[in-house]
Amino acid sequence: MARPVFIVDGSRTPFLKARSGPGPFTPVDLAVQCGRPLLARQPFSPDDFDQVILGCVNVIADEMNPARVAALRLGMGEDMVAFTVQINCGSGMQSIDTAYRYIREGHADMILAGGTEALSHAPLVWPNSGVRWFAGLATAKGVAAKLAAAFKLRPRYLKPIIGLERGLTDPVTDLNMGQTAEVVGHLFGITRAQSDAYAAESHRRLAHAQAEGFLRGEVETAFSRDGKFFDHDDGVRPDSTAESLAKLKPVFERPWGQVTAGNSSQITDGASWVILASDAAVAKHKLEPKAVIVDSHWAALDPSIMGLGPVMSATPLLQRNDLTIKDVETWELNEAFATQVLGCLAAWNDDTFCREILGLDGAAGEIDRERLNVDGGAISLGHPVGTSGNRIVLHLVNAMKRLGTRRGVATECIGGGLGGAMLIEAV
């Protein structure tokens, strides 16, 4: 029989907006910064875990398999099995889902599952023409041949390509993620005014959560090597309004596009962990679980409309558990783009879409905005790609506990045309 899987605890770093040059932390640095205080407050030893699973998309050359590097730096022992998973924006949730299945089937009792990303450390990449020139120079034999190869250099060979820009472009459709949000917005008639209003509300909600202390116990202070400390998500703009955001120009589809820098998620560095445990581990270590994972579901769709991934993954998840949208009291839907979030809400409330695409008898219904992303989301705090899926699960659990709600869903769209969703219940 499948065993229950509990979320016992978790923590994350502040999400730090990428500015000029690499930020103060690498992916592993971030994972260690929030991992240390999390493990220090547990009533068991760090080496009591069975595994460490970490989501990360932009792995840097000095930290191959960041899960293993982080586990060693966290003092979890040389015999700790640790591996890294990558499914673009879903990587942090995939780590939880993989751990959930290991524990559910009896292959493990306690797993540390997380996500980390330092987008400010994304590399610059040489163009292929430059790579071929370097290769020709390196393999040329003799002085004359090397001089001849050197004289073939052209300035354009040395112009670097921003790796992150290519990484956020779908290789099949050749659309970047912002353009896919434009497609979703066009399909459901989402207006620029609606997107800007949603984005302003995301900032207002995060600022309110910070001021009220709702993130205490979730966000751990991070300390850089030069002695600076970071104790809050620094991309929030409390003074944002729909009117001020309306002044920004479209980024991806000028001049008529809906998606701007103001109503998109921010390029950010950050890490997050959750501790998952079986009922046996809970009893052994006298733990106090916060929630239980009920089920999860992954879905795939046309990459050009990847923003509808939450609809395609959360709908079958609810159906399988005999639930409707109205049965879910708290939602975390990762805010890749305001237009994309609003497109998902519109899709669920569209009779034709739900009949023809989802196979329902009619519209699934409308999600109450007071139940959705109650403390803001990626538009106001950022979207470190490999981390976000982990953060939304962690925050969903904490928000449910604070609000006294019983059932929640964390869901996200995933670059490449995927979606992930997880059903959580309070204990």
Residue 292, SS3? strand
How many residues are listed for the chain in this entry?
427
- Pairwise CA distance, residues 96 & 7, whole Å: 10
121, 297, 383, 395: which one is catalytic?
Answer: 383
Q: Are 301 and 419 in contact (CB under 8 A)?
A: yes
HSE of 392, CA atoms in CB hemisphere, 13 A: 37
* Token code pair at residue 279: 């009922």
- Pairwise CA distance, residues 220 & 11, whole Å: 7
34, 89, 344, 354: which one is catalytic?
Answer: 89
- Burial (CB < 10 A; 0-12, 13-18, 19+), residue 86, is middle
Residue 56 designated active-site: no
34, 344, 354, 413: which one is catalytic?
Answer: 413
- Pairwise CA distance, residues 86 & 93, whole Å: 10
272: Cβ–Cβ under 8 A, 6 or more apart, which residues? Answer: 10, 11, 12, 13, 34, 92, 114, 115, 116, 387, 390, 391, 394
Residue 89 designated active-site: yes
Residue 383 designated active-site: yes
How far from each other are the two terminal CA atoms of the chain, in whole angstroms? 20
Residue 383, SS3? coil
Active-site residue numbers? 89, 383, 413
